[in-house]
Amino acid sequence: MDAQDSSHKQSQAALTLVALGVVFGDIGTSPLYAVKEVFSPAHGIPMGRETVLGGISAIFWSLMVVVTLKYVLLIMRASNKGEGGIMALLALATASVRSAPHWRYPLVVIGLLGAALFYGDAVITPAISVLSAVEGLEVGTAAFKPYVLPIAIGVIVGLFLMQRHGTAAVGLLFGPVTALWFLALGAVGLWGLAKTPEILMALNPAHALTYVSAHGFSSFVVLGAVVLAVTGGEALYADMGHFGKRPIRLAWFGLVLPALMLNYLGQGALLLRTPEAVSNPFYLQYPSWALYPMIGLATAATVIASQATISGAYSLTKQAMQLGYLPRMNVVQTSAKEIGQVYLPAVNWILLVVVLGAVLGFGSSSALASAYGLAVTGTMLVTTFLTFFVIRYSWGYPLWLCVAATGFFIVVDIAFFSASLLKFAEGGWFPVLLAGVVFTVMLTWRRGREILRRRLQDSAIPLEPFLKSLFEYPPLRVPGTAVFMIANAEAVPHALLHNLSHNKVLHERVVFLTVQIEDVPWVPFGERVAVESLGRDCWRMTVRFGFKNKPDVTQALELARAHGLEFEMLETSFFLSRETLIPVRDAADGMALWRERMFAALARNASSVTDYFNIPTNRVIELGTKIEI
């Protein structure tokens, strides 16, 4: 028993260490720029003792309320069979309102908006993090200023080029490097605190309330900068499925929160002593001998933070594809052991182009800070909103308790989001534009699939009556197995009709295969396959995957052996229907013509069905049909 306890403790310690690198990279690099932006002269709040105490107090209580209370203690309880993140929460929320179906579509729209805003976060995090780290070179000497942008671009390009090799190799370094980063943050903060212990007065929430209320409109504006301290809080929930709640909570309370608060207090202590250090309080708190080592460590930490966000974008895209919100894309599994380690080439190169555009277009971390808050606060607000429906309809708590549990956080999120909206013209438009494009694509793909499904249903022939009439005058049966893949398990596949029309034969065994993606992250192997006999050696087979499973039809056919069906691949042919979509202007229940054209283009450029479902390409026969949408 003692050996088991020791092994469990070692496992928890290892998970906690790895979680440091993956989960806390984003929020851990916020001290690089958050304090500088909170006390920016552009806000119009004069620097002074009360200002410094108020600003640091606002940061401290934002971390306590938004990250500790909201994410660590509340939101992380809303797990979808252990998984977290905006898509898992959306699936959980929509599944929970089956008794109130009128909420389903609004929840889908709001959830997709939150997911779309995450892509803005995925673009801005690498840009602002790497830029803010490299800008430390200017603190050492102004001679480095012309080289900041080229170095930052080089680091970002290298990061994205590395993605195709997977993160398993460098992932082993993420935890220790991030642990060293947090220790360095805490140590310099403690050193500054010892010099000016007066900064501890900032722990009094009265200073925060005064700071965000006593300066008129400027107090409201500064909230948009305070929120920079909690960027990355969403990652605690999004990565819950990889590590579990306990390691994330241990890391947060045991190292991350103390280190962050010591560093923020240390920067505040520096500003109490030297107000002009506001130009870059993070790097100026270090002694000159430690400056360049910290720039190197900060660059490594920002690469890790960026890696976590980029990996999150891959994971989110894969989940969105399998839930039917994005077209199929090529997914490369970069690890034989970790299903969550994937690489999507299309997403990688699009992100690289947009990140470089952000770096070149904004030019500095301060300019990017204006754009950052809107993406983060929008996602946070959507997460809180969806959580209300989970605790109300899924957990069944009384309405008053649900309102009390989420209402306070919604008020806080709305305050931060509204303050960030003020920066719309200064850069906030950028994540909104990105989110708008992604949201339009997601909603158009979802709606287009519904229209396509309806068109196919309108022309569908019921399967069982068709088979009954077919076998009254049976066609020639030829050796082998034919697998017809079809979305509607009750309808005759178009590929079967074409095959009968042109070839006048039917295989001796016919399987009608339907793949379903469930609103859960994983479907166990024992529950994945269902088989039903339709007579005359015809079978209906349903394969269920979770939105984090890899859809693998070949593997599913092997599982069918337990249900009495055995497949010999060399004697099995897969018949697929390929629809050519024709946009039509006057369709009564269609979309706007530009959206129909977009949907047709997305469908035309989607990755191959055979690759996506892992079907042997040399055993596939595709038969096409034209459908007006």
| Residue 434 forms part of a structural domain | no
pLDDT of residue 69: 93
pLDDT of residue 385: 93
Tell me: pLDDT of 2 over 80: no
Predicted TM-score (pTM) of this structure:
0.83
Domain boundary among 429, 444, 475: 429
Residue numbers of the domain that contains 611: 459-628
395 and 472 fall within a common domain: no
DSSP string of 81-96?
Answer: TTB-SHHHHHHHHHHH
| Residue 445 forms part of a structural domain | no
| Residue 262 forms part of a structural domain | yes
The more confident residue out of 481 and 145 is 481
473 and 351 fall within a common domain: no
pLDDT digits (tens, 9 = 90+) for 555-607: 999 999 988 899 998 899 999 888 778 887 766 667 888 998 999 899 888 88
334 and 483 fall within a common domain: no
| Residue 451 forms part of a structural domain | no
pLDDT of residue 3: 45
381 and 469 fall within a common domain: no
Tell me: pLDDT of 622 over 50: yes
Tell me: pLDDT of 7 over 70: no
Tell me: pLDDT of 199 over 70: yes
Per-residue pLDDT band for 1 (boundaries 50, 70, 90) equals: very low
Domain boundary among 374, 407, 429: 429
Q: Which of 28-32, 54-58, 336-340, 517-521 has the lowest mean pLDDT?
A: 336-340
464 and 422 fall within a common domain: no
406 and 466 fall within a common domain: no
| Residue 21 forms part of a structural domain | no
**Bridge partners, residue 483, by sequence:** 511, 574
Please give the Cα distance from 306 to 128 (Å, whole number).
10
Q: Which of 17-21, 325-329, 414-418, 547-551 has the lowest mean pLDDT?
A: 17-21
Type of residue numbered 36:
K
Q: What percent of the chain clears pLDDT 70, i.e. is strictly above it?
A: 94
pLDDT of residue 579: 77
∠ CA 51-56-59, rounded to 5°: 130
CB 442 within 8 A of CB 320: yes
Mean pLDDT is highest, among 236-245, 362-371, 514-523, for 514-523
Per-residue pLDDT band for 423 (boundaries 50, 70, 90) equals: confident
Q: How much is the mean pLDDT over the chain?
A: 87
**What is the rounded average pLDDT of the residues 536-561?**
91
515 and 423 fall within a common domain: no
Domain boundary among 391, 409, 429: 429
CB 449 within 8 A of CB 478: no
Sign, CA torsion 267/272/277/279: positive
Mean pLDDT is highest, among 75-84, 136-145, 319-328, for 319-328
Per-residue pLDDT band for 337 (boundaries 50, 70, 90) equals: low
The more confident residue out of 524 and 83 is 524
pLDDT of residue 424: 87
Count of CB atoms within 10 A of residue 597's CB?
15
pLDDT of residue 9: 57
Q: Which residues of 445-468 are buried (b: 16+ CB within 10 A; e: fewer)?
A: bbebbebbeebbeeebeebeeebe
Sheet holding 572-582, edge to edge: 529-535, 538-545, 505-517, 476-485, 572-582, 620-628
Distances in Å between the Cα of 269 and the Cα atoms of 30, 48, 198, 489 are 18, 12, 8, 67
pLDDT digits (tens, 9 = 90+) for 113-132: 998 998 888 898 888 888 88
Please give the Cα distance from 551 to 494 (Å, whole number).
22
47 and 196 fall within a common domain: yes
pLDDT of residue 503: 86
pLDDT of residue 245: 85
Q: Which of 507, 496, 506, 560 is nearest to 532 (CA)?
A: 560
226 and 365 fall within a common domain: yes
| Residue 19 forms part of a structural domain | no
| Residue 12 forms part of a structural domain | no
- The secondary structure of the chain in percent helix, strand, coil, rounded to multiples of 5, reads 70, 10, 20
**What is the rounded average pLDDT of the residues 220-238?**
87
pLDDT digits (tens, 9 = 90+) for 379-405: 999 999 999 999 988 888 899 999 998
pLDDT digits (tens, 9 = 90+) for 60-73: 999 999 999 999 98
Tokens of 297: 């460590």
Q: Which of 491, 577, 480, 469 is nearest to 537 (CA)?
A: 480
476 and 415 fall within a common domain: no
417 and 510 fall within a common domain: no
**What is the rounded average pLDDT of the residues 92-97?**
88
Per-residue pLDDT band for 171 (boundaries 50, 70, 90) equals: low
CB 166 within 8 A of CB 311: no
Sign, CA torsion 365/368/374/378: negative
Count of CB atoms within 10 A of residue 418's CB?
14
Please give the Cα distance from 337 to 158 (Å, whole number).
25
Q: Give the helix ranges, DSSP H, for 287-424.
A: 288-322, 345-362, 365-389, 399-421
Please give the Cα distance from 232 to 24 (Å, whole number).
7
Q: Which of 14-18, 125-129, 146-150 has the lowest mean pLDDT?
A: 14-18
Tokens 């959580």 appear where?
387
pLDDT digits (tens, 9 = 90+) for 424-452: 888 889 989 999 999 999 999 999 988 88
622 and 542 fall within a common domain: yes
| Residue 178 forms part of a structural domain | yes
pLDDT of residue 396: 86
pLDDT of residue 183: 95
Tell me: pLDDT of 352 over 50: yes
Give the count of domains, the chain.
2
The enclosing domain of 265 has a CATH number of 1.20.1740.10
Type of residue numbered 312:
G
The more confident residue out of 284 and 319 is 284
Strands 332-333 and 529-535: unpaired
pLDDT of residue 587: 60
